[in-house]
Structures are given as structure tokens and as C-alpha cells.
Structure 1
């Protein structure tokens, strides 16, 4: 894939841009083999590949420029806006939505936030696309001052972008380097974006996490389901469950599944999805996965932690649990390797790389850990 922004030095976020895609996969695979070299007996499955371009279902755009000429993209070295609306790694549906959104910013007189002077209102535009093309649009503002104008002109945006399903305003009054604040104002009747993956619908709320590559996310869920089915687990924990992707996909007759997630909105979404699917044996709770105890361990545990990994406390809990199987999905193979080393009772059985992030050195990896007989 070639990118004009990268070639011109405007944006260098995609560090492998211009490299042959097969070479990217080889590079990532070699790095993963090096990190997991301490477990030479593992069986390596073929990597799951992605579309090299147009794969991102999310666009997190910094708003710059002026109210009459807004930019959506990033900030340059002087903290001024650089337009990236033709970015080739975001989906065609997202790229098509940028022009109507830019026009709406001007129409509603949403003054872009100027970082050097700390003036203006509109900081970010956050856009997510569902598999069916439906969109969630979030305007991140410094205050509620423009809210009336947004409400007034919103019908024109909904006419221009008929695929808009959820529109919100997020408030971020502080001047700090984060994407969003804690308060969300929903504009309209819908507060979740339905993400249909096969026979399941996952409900995504504005602040909830979902993988940036829908095809690869589906691959991860299917792989976990295959491994859980193979071991015949009758009870499963899904830790760091988010909106319930893994838990809902591994659900099966005669199997109980329990998800734990610290985000209350994500748990609410997961419960809604389970109820709609009629999955009475799939439950969710708001809680800290690291605070779990080893009592009443299930047949299998699925873990999908953030980049920092499981950490010593949760690894010790899993080690003491006696759970026969762990399915570990990781976005950071370095912390994955550290955590496997902290689980000496488990054998690294299978490994598979999932190319969640083409054009970069990042990737997702899923491993199957099997408890060794004493």
C-alpha cells in the first residue's frame, strides 16, 4: 500500500507503510517467534491476514483549522491541524462520511479548538462504522456552548448521512492530551451501535471498546470458540470482557459463561446483547478482573487484557485456580510472554497471529494454554 501522506512526510503513524504486505507478516511472525522462543513445543497456526487497506472501523480525528475551513486528522509540530480525510487505512464508509461532517462543522459554527491559544470548542470527531455501514458519530467539545446549534442543524446532517445511527456530544473541558471526557450527551433515540457479526449482534455504546478491525475481531472470536469447543468446557470465565464479544461467541447449550469487566457501560451493552440473543446462561458483572479469587474456577478462562497484560496478581490467581484451559488474546506479545512465564503450570499449546493492524508493527496474538498434569 502506498500513502501520499506518508510519502510527503505529513503523517508517519503507519511505520511499515510502503512495505510489501507479505514482508510485514514475515516481520511480525519472526518477532513473535523470538518472544515465545522459550516454549519450543507450541504448535503454530497460520496467521490470519487482514485487508492491507480500508480495514479500520474507527477514525479518531483531531479537529483543526478554522470554522470555515476545518481539518480532520492530526496536529503538526506547531499544534495546528493537518487534514487526513483521504487516509487509506480507514474504511471507505468512514472516508465518505468526512465531507458531510466537515460541512456540518461550518454550518453549526463549531469553532475548532486551538491548542496553542486554548481557545475554541470542537476538539475531536470520533467516528465508528458497524459491519452494515451504520455509523456512530461523537463530537468532543470543551463545553455545552455549541450544543444548541448542533441540535438545530442536526437534521441536515442526518439527511446528508443517512447511515448515522448514533450521534453524541462528549464533554472534555480540561486542556489535556486525551481523546474524550467522562460526560456523554446522546442526541436522538439511539445510544448503541449494533455491530452484527454473523448471527450475533454486539451493542457498542459511545465509550465502550471494540477492536478496530472488524474482520480480525471476528476471526479472534471464532478461534476462541473453536478452542473452547474442542476442550468441551462446561463453564467459562471471560475476563476483561468488554461488550461481551468472546463470551457471547463461546456460548453454547449446556455451557455457562460469565464475563467480568470494569466498565459499567460495556457490561450494560453485553447484557443487552445476551438478552436479545436469548442466552440465559451468559452473565456479566462489573468488576476488576485482578481482584478475582481462585475459588470455584471454571473449566476454561478467556483473558483479553490491555497492553499492560495480566500482571502478577491475576497470574497468581490463575496459577492457583486449577482451571484446565486458558485462552489468552493479547495486543502486546511482550507482556504476553511475561505472563506465560508467570503461569508455570500451563503449557503453551497453540499460537496464532492475527494481523489487526496492517502497515504497523502491531498485531494481535491468541494462544491456547493447557494445564499440565501433575
Structure 2
């Protein structure tokens, strides 16, 4: 088979990076493959009508959030995780002794204004004769290798500004002689660099996530100051934050956050709405693609003449607030209190008074009497003049939510799925009381296997 011709805009890291799978496919082919995949899922429930996947408004630089990982390299070019250095050279960092703890920095060397770093985490012995870490890399994980970090110069699906921020963070880390965190030994300091960008506002958020503990407050303050300076030089006007993560899990979520520069949030415009996005807010990854998705959902709700909407898994209120101006009342439910706070702020920011948001599990809200509190006068039995909307995480719809929806039976359901392979099982369960009326698919993730599907169902 002849290899596909290179795409002119293809990222220099494509092929090794785990972020993209199909940059070497022409975009129409990507859409055709996703439509074929969705059709296969829907055939299992008897839906045979053609399904089209709507193209993303942007196929490059479309993501509004990325989470880069710090990693280590050895003098022989390998990494402690078993990989090799890719791309530009690693930035020197502290070498580690045979007990896994870093050695003190030489007096007068780079970063000597800071005290020697005691790295938190268990002290895991390194086998005698094993190569010692001698550098630092920053980027995404290698394809199919969670334990291997690439050293990246760019990200063609995030932002043209990514390269400058990646290089600034690497240079700063080398100047301060800071080692990357090792998720196997749970030692080291630098964990993640998280970037968020308002695609319609141009605002940028930069978050450095470090391991918790191991340094004096004075030393941490010095590092925070120098990191903020480096980030702002690379991206003037950005809001810069410092996060600390004490958990063993390799996630980019911070236990604590400190704003170093700017307001600590960014804003994004979606049509005539403005959304405030805080560091841990859930927000659809593709801002402009999500705007098209939300417009379709609003049209469905308006056509149904439903007067009230219950938005389960509401996040920061993107769907809720888009629908609020088309109905009498919206109630949003979200398990994460920070996201609920964002949703409430966003309602105020946009002058929307008919939307309420509550921090609760969706299954608990539906099963413990909350419905009666917020939709008074309605009881189980079906036919209520309202729509339940749910956009669950990739793990899918909670079984308790399915059970409750079948008991309460709102007149309409709108199911937004970022993992359509779960649709057959969920739709089979819902078919006891509902029929599927409409489906639309949206390519919110160009160059990957992922896409979003939205379905409208009505009571039988």
C-alpha cells in the first residue's frame, strides 16, 4: 500500500504524539470514517437513516485546552519511563543520586538563589549502574505510551502560541534546575503545564502544576515569581497560575491554586453569550464547534415548545445558558462545586435570571425529591412539559440517571454523547418509554477518532 501524501499543515510531531491519529488523512475522509462509525452504532438500535458528521469550523488550532506533561531523559537519550528524547534537546535538570533523592545544587550554579530541592514522594532505590536522569522534556505522551513524554515544539490542534510557552517553561525549568516528576517513583517536582485559550477572545491561561511539599514557602515564592515572568515574556497579557498536586495519580488537576498574574480566569464568547472559564471549569474543547452544537440544541428545544429544561451534567452552564432565553426556566445540576460557581457567575454575567444551578450528583438530584422542589406541581408518571438534557462524561450515563428518567418520564430528552459507542446500550434502555426523533453529529475533535453526537428523544 502506498503511504498517504503528507498534509502541508501536518504537525512536526505527528506519528509519535498521542494527541492526534489522522493528520495524514484528508479532512473529508476523516468525516466519512466518523459517519461510518456512528452508523454502525446506530444500526444496533434499528436506526438506518443516513447520518452526516458536521465538519468543525476549524480543523487546526481548534482546541481551547491542553495539558502537557513534564518528563525526564537520561544521558543515553532514553527516559526513566523507557522512551527516548524526541525533538529538541532536553533542558538540564538536577541529577539524582542512587537513592532517588536529588543532590544539592552546586553553589553559584544556575538557580543557586534557591535552596537545594528536597523532592517529595517515596524514596525508591535506583538499580546499581542504571543511567541517571540528565534532562527534562515537556509535551504530550507518545502514542500508546502513557509512560513516555515527547519533547514538543508545537501543537497544531491547540494554538500558534503553544511553542513559545513550551520553550519558555523548559528554559525556566533548566535555569532553576528543577527535575520533572516521575509517576513511577513519585519523586520530582514539575508535573504539568496546562494552557487554556479563548478562541473568540484571544485570552490565554497558563498553569504550572508542581508536586506539593519539599520546598520552603520562600523558595516556592521565588519560583512562582520567576515562572510568571517567563510565561508573560512568552505570552504577554496571559493570566498565570501556580498549582500544586499532592496526589499520586498522574493528573493535571491541582489541589491548590495561586494566581500569579491577571484575574485567574479567561473569558470566551459563544454567540451572544460570554463565559468565564476558571482553571478547573469544564468547557467544550472546541469553542466554535460547540457553538454550532448548542445552536442545534436550542432549535430542538424551541421546536418542541418545552417550557422548562433540566440540564444534567451542566458543567459551567454552556448548554443551560444557551437554552435559557428560549424557555421559562432552566435548572442545571453538576457534581463539581467549582463548575456550579462558574455557571452561576456566567448567568449573572449575561443577565440571565431564569437559570438555577445546584452542586449535586445527577442521580441523587433525580432520585431524592429535588425535582418536586424545583419543578413544583409535577409528579412522576410522564408527559411533563419539560426537556431533560444530559451531556455526561466519557464514562457515559449513570445507571441511576437512566432509571430515574424512565420513572419521571419528561416529555423530551436530549442526549449529547462524546462517546457514541455507549449509545446502543443506553438507547436500548430508554426505548422502553422513548423513541429517537433526531440525531446530529459534530466533529469537535478533528484528526482524532472522537466526535460528538446529539440525539432528541420523545415519549412514546
Q: TM-score, normalised by structure 2?
A: 0.74
Q: Does 1:5 align with 2:13?
A: yes
Equivalent in the alignment of 1:127: 195
Offset at residue 118 of structure 1 (A) = 4.3
Superimposed CA distance per residue, residues 81-138 of structure 1 (whole angstroms, 9 cap, x where no aligned partner): 4212323222223344333333333445543224565443111101111121111111
Residue 55 of structure 1 aligns with which residue? Answer: 62
Q: What are the residue-to-residue correspondences of 1:21-36 with 2, within 5 Å?
A: 21-36=27-42
Cα offsets for 1:7-63 (capped at 9, x unmatched): 4xx324422231222111111111111111145467656422123322222221111
* Cα distance in structure 2, aligned partners of 1:94 and 1:163: 15
Say if 1:43 and 1:349, in contact at 8 Å, map to a contact too.
Answer: no
Task: Give CA deviations for 1:248-282 in whole Å, capped at 9, x if unaligned.
Answer: 00012651001000000000010001011111111
**C-alpha distance in 2, partners of 1:298/1:164?**
45
Which residue is equivalent to 2:236?
A: 162
**Which residue number corresponds to residue 242 of structure 1?**
315
Give the one of 263, 270, 273 matched to 1:190.
263
The counterpart of 1:140, out of the listed 204, 209, 212, is 209
Q: Which runs of 5+ in 2 are unaligned?
A: 1-6, 73-90, 94-134, 373-377, 379-383
> What does the per-residue CA deviation read over 1:144-173, in whole Å, with 9 as the maximum and x for residues that have no partner?
5352123332245324421312x2222122
TM-fit CA distance, 1:218: 1.3
Q: In 2, distance between residues paired with 1:326 and 1:351?
A: 12
Secondary structure at 1:215 match in 2: helix
Paired residue for 1:332? 419
* Alignment match, 1:341: 428
CA distance 1:213–1:96, change in 2 (3 Å):
farther
Shift of 1:333: 0.9
User: Could you tell which deviates more after superposition, 282-291 or 181-190?
Assistant: 181-190
Post-superposition offset of 1:305: 0.5
TM-score of the pair, normalised by structure 1: 0.90
CA RMSD of aligned residues (A): 2.5
1:313/1:86 CA distance change after superposition, 3 Å: same
| SS of the residue 2:424 aligns to | helix
Compare 328-337 and 240-249 and name the one that shifted more: 328-337
Contact 2:35-2:51 within 8 A present in 1 as well:
no
Q: From the superposition, tell whether residues 251 and 108 of structure 1 become closer, same or farther in structure 2 (CA, over 3 Å).
A: farther
Structure 1, unpaired ranges of 5+: none
* 1:312-362 residue CA offsets vs partner (Å, 9 max, x unmatched): 321121122231111111011122221111112111111111111111211
**Does the CA-based 8 Å contact 1:331-1:363 persist in structure 2?**
yes
Q: Distance in 2 between matches of 1:75 and 1:279?
A: 41
1:275-354 → structure 2 map (5 Å cutoff): 275-291=348-364, 292-293=366-367, 296=378, 299-344=386-431, 345-354=433-442
Q: Partner residue of 2:22?
A: 16
Measured after TM superposition, the shift of residue 284 of structure 1 is: 0.3
Give 3-state SS (helix, strand or coil) of 2:193's partner.
strand
Task: Determine if contact 1:42/1:348 at 8 Å carries over to the other structure.
Answer: no
Q: Distance in 1 between matches of 2:183 and 2:445?
A: 29
Q: How has the CA–CA distance of structure 1 residues 185 and 28 changed in structure 2, closer, same or farther, with 3 Å as cutoff?
A: same
Contact conserved, 1:45 with 1:350, CA < 8 A, in 2? no
CA distance in 1, matches of 2:450, 2:187: 35
Asked if 2 retains the 8 angstrom alpha-carbon contact of 1:59 and 1:94, the reply is: no
Q: Are the aligned partners of 1:312 and 1:342 in contact in 2 as well (CA < 8 Å)?
A: no
Aligned residues of 1:94 and 1:129 also touching (Cα < 8 A): no
SS at match of 2:140: strand
TM superposition shift of 1:368: 0.9
Conserved 8 A contact 1:356-1:363: yes
Larger Rg: 2
Quick check: 1:252 aligned with 2:325? Answer: yes
Give 3-state SS (helix, strand or coil) of 2:415's partner: strand
How far apart, CA to CA, are the structure 2 residues paired with 1:71 and 1:98? Answer: 10
Name the CA distance, whole Å, in 2 between partners of 1:152 and 1:31: 49
Higher alpha-carbon deviation: 222-231 or 153-162: 153-162
